Structure 1
């Protein structure tokens, strides 16, 4: 009878290890998928129902089979050209906006992105953006609820696995002693024997070493994750000195970005608007508003408005707005997300070097109607059947961005 119990315990141990391994793998896939999603997809897609440049991706794993999703991510134009009804309906619904293909993504990476989307929708809703930053106004990484959930899930599974292993080893040890000396074991209550075995295991040097190694691994992972997060402010949405609504101005009234950010098409930077630009309208519109009165106060005191910068690249990186918006023909939402729908502006993209490099690898050069590129396109087309990408004209050279 006891041998059967030991066999059952061993089965439960194996089953627990299997479940823990599966759960850990799922958590790791979702964590990797989160990074891929935020670096490549978040500028155009939300992981919820919200429609940005493209459709919200909540429930995508239920709407389409994984084989279809993989083909679509690898080459959306090929799926559309094949006559697929769902793909063509989607293409037409979003004004025939071409999605960037990601042929280098493996099937496991795409599954990881889907796992992140499913996990983020299963998590409690994140708090509303716009929380005030630290008192010194320094940009701090916003809490990522889904990312935190993945970390907690992974840590929880590891802790449960260790506790179950210890408990099962104690039970196996107790049952083994019972089979060796049933008479002596009968004199001691079962729970007391299990408790004694647990204490014995706790004093075991191998168990202590295992717990120490596990703690070091978790601590090392937390340190590496924190190091990778240095300087990444994705989700940052500071409170501004004047509650300016981009949703109202850029969305409802459709004021072009260039009207306020005057250098966005012609200069290196987008320029923070001066109070004089605000007064072009507000010298007559809503003058009684408390927020507009703050502009009048700044002008009367001859003081600039202390706007809090949201998007900020490190000084070691060179970025030219006009090169991307004017020459490249990119829309502001490619990097900033749909600003016209934001009441409080937040940093939607990670703006990391990897994020920029991926864009250079995948973006076609806007060569149409620009004679500057005619010779380059001609030379490129002799050796390649793929469109001329930014990486083909030096977009991956270090000196282009780090001078």
Structure 2
């Protein structure tokens, strides 16, 4: 009876470990994606590729015209990331859900193809993206309470170490399975040599039943815990998205194209949004500003007569009625934001917050505009002190620090700056 119980326990252990083994094999296969090089030579070469081809639209740890790049190979496989860099149009056309959603998030902004980049160029570029210009650990710790820039470098174990750890676990588990198999075999042979009843012989000779593992209390508890954790994470993520209007792009009463006016004709944002350098609000232009041009420009594309959209401007002026534009960017009343402080004093480009506005046919909210997003910007943005005597004393006081003077160093993280 003792041998019989021992055999039962060993068989159940063998079955459970076998299931775990195949689960780990699957995890290892997933993690065994080619790793990104981390040598200084690769990073330096990758920085050259980045500066020549990517710097205009991307930053490593924060959104710019395009998404932040750090962690790209954690979000997608290395081969897929390479394919997207070389020909983003083809990847999006293939129906890949991640890059299709990214394409929509950035207002259908098309990234140029880089077919001319060799595989070595791409490997070096990814090395720089993942390991180049790392943020100082102390500064990274200081940002723990804020929102991490989208696509920014995540914490935790580097992917290559995770692959090694999983490989070691698989090897150890395989050895345990071999040992348990040998024990079962020896024990079975030994028991069969004893004078056993027919019932006992039938029991000893029975095959392993892996279905018992899936019906066991331990397996059910583990699966239930994973499901509960997944549901909880989904719920928390949903709560964090409450009030976030990123991607909101409503239809306007007049189909005004920023891609045409700010992009093709290079009309400065300040021409229409007159308050952006002198006041809290940027101001929505009145129909009179539109008429400065459209008194003479009455059609689009060489068509005869006044185009329907331009006619709406004329109707507003004739009826002395304002155009009822739909507001896109709207901070909560509890938050104070001053455009002049950021644009005129800080020298911040409109695209920093509003994205590639010069390429948008329909304006949508590009950034999250959450508190964490603003705080993260204050932590990373250097103060434009050059030529501004107001900051001379602050620069002098900060000269002992090795880091550049950031917005956070001049009160950019104080609650009363935005909430009072």
TM tier relative to shorter chain = 0.5 to 0.7
Q: 1:70 to 1:334 in 2, by over 3 A?
A: farther
Of 380, 384, 387, 1:366 maps to 384
Question: TM-score scaled to structure 2, two decimals?
Answer: 0.58
Residue matched to 2:409: 392
Matches within 5 A, 1:288-303: 288-303=306-321
Residue matched to 2:21: 15
Residues of 2 paired with 1:68 and 1:344: CA distance? 43
Give the SS at the match of 2:19. Answer: helix
Question: TM-score scaled to structure 1, two decimals?
Answer: 0.60
Q: 1:101 to 1:113 in 2, by over 3 A?
A: closer
Q: 1:347 to 1:6 in 2, by over 3 A?
A: same
Residue matched to 1:87: 47
Residues of 1 paired with 2:257 and 2:246: CA distance? 20
Residue matched to 2:359: 341
Residue matched to 1:112: 71
Residues of 2 paired with 1:69 and 1:226: CA distance? 42
Q: Runs of 5+ in structure 1 lacking a partner?
A: 27-60, 72-83, 104-108, 131-145, 147-175
Of 260, 272, 279, 1:248 maps to 260
Preserved contact between residue 335 and residue 418 of structure 2 (Cα < 8 Å): yes
Give the SS at the match of 1:114. Answer: helix
The root-mean-square deviation of aligned C-alpha atoms, in Å, is 4.3
Residues of 2 paired with 1:269 and 1:69: CA distance? 48
Q: CA deviation at 1:388?
A: 1.2
Q: Runs of 5+ in structure 2 lacking a partner?
A: 1-6, 63-67, 85-90, 106-150, 152-183, 189-198, 300-305
After alignment, is 348-357 or 318-327 more displaced? 348-357
Residue matched to 1:308: 326
Residues of 1 paired with 2:31 and 2:411: CA distance? 38
Residues of 1 paired with 2:326 and 2:57: CA distance? 34
Note if 1:268 corresponds to 2:280: yes
Q: CA deviation at 1:304?
A: 2.2
Residues of 1 paired with 2:41 and 2:61: CA distance? 12
Give the SS at the match of 1:295. Answer: helix
Give the SS at the match of 1:126. Answer: helix
Preserved contact between residue 101 and residue 362 of structure 1 (Cα < 8 Å): no
